[in-house]
A and B are shown apart, each in its own frame.
Chain A
């Protein structure tokens, strides 16, 4: 398989469209014939990230998906408020989501730990006031 790269834009602060990008990613991976269990892992992890972007990055961001024969690499980059304490953000149950987001069924503080669980390699960098970048790799072989 040759190297393929897709980029998807995530609008910030529009909860009704949260999941559009993940849905497209899932469809594209299915068209490439990626095994269903791996597609599911990528879709769940990317959807968690997309929800985070919509909640916390008012200016949105983008998701890049790179596929080669060995792995799928996803990079979720936003220009949001950034995360002051990454260790705290990675702990299960810790959340800063507002009540209106919790009323929609999100913001239980499981997103980042869940993304780490589904990805084979997980990396997060963040700068307060500048934004957050999450890189996840999923092994194909």
Chain B
């Protein structure tokens, strides 16, 4: 089983919001900057990797029951985004890794956990 906390540790990430979900399990992940595609393709209990930093990322997660968002490439969201995530119970993790590396690390972890 892989939890939100495992994701944060694996990516050497900093937790910015939503500590309530740390022990929750995640089943898959998706890397995208296009929220339209996230809405069309992502399954539930997924981690979303993105470089996009606006409140609509949190909204998209909220609608899709995505409990964890990882911001890649060392980017940090604004206070409004952090506040909305806390309000909606979405965990935010910031990692310095690039999208490719972050996705690859978690993908390998999912495969070895099978």
Contacts and interface: CB of A to CB of B under 8 A. Distances in A.
Contacts of A43: 62-64
A106 B62 contact: no
Interface SS of chain A: helix, strand, loop or mixed? helix
Contacts, number: 68
A77 interface: no
Interface residues of B, number: 20
Interface residues of A, number: 25
A39 B34 CA distance: 23
A36 B36 CA distance: 21
Contacts of B52: 104-105
Contacts of A23: 59, 62-63, 88
Nearest to B33: A105
B60 interface: yes
B108 interface: no
A64 interface: no
A117 B40 CA distance: 9
B36 A47 contact: no
B56 interface: yes
Interface in A11-33: 15-16, 18-19, 22-23, 26
Contacts of A26: 62-63
B57 interface: yes
Interface string B45-83: 000000010111101101111000000000000000000
B36 A109 contact: yes
A107 B56 CA distance: 13
Given A18-B59, A22-B59, A40-B44, A108 B37 contact: yes
A4 to B, nearest CB: 21
B35 A106 contact: yes
A110 B59 contact: no
Interface of B: 33-37, 39-40, 44, 52, 54-57, 59-60, 62-65, 88
16 contacts: A16-B55, A18-B56, A18-B59, A40-B44, A104-B35, A104-B56, A105-B34, A105-B54, A105-B57, A106-B34, A106-B36, A108-B34, A110-B37, A111-B36, A114-B40, A117-B40
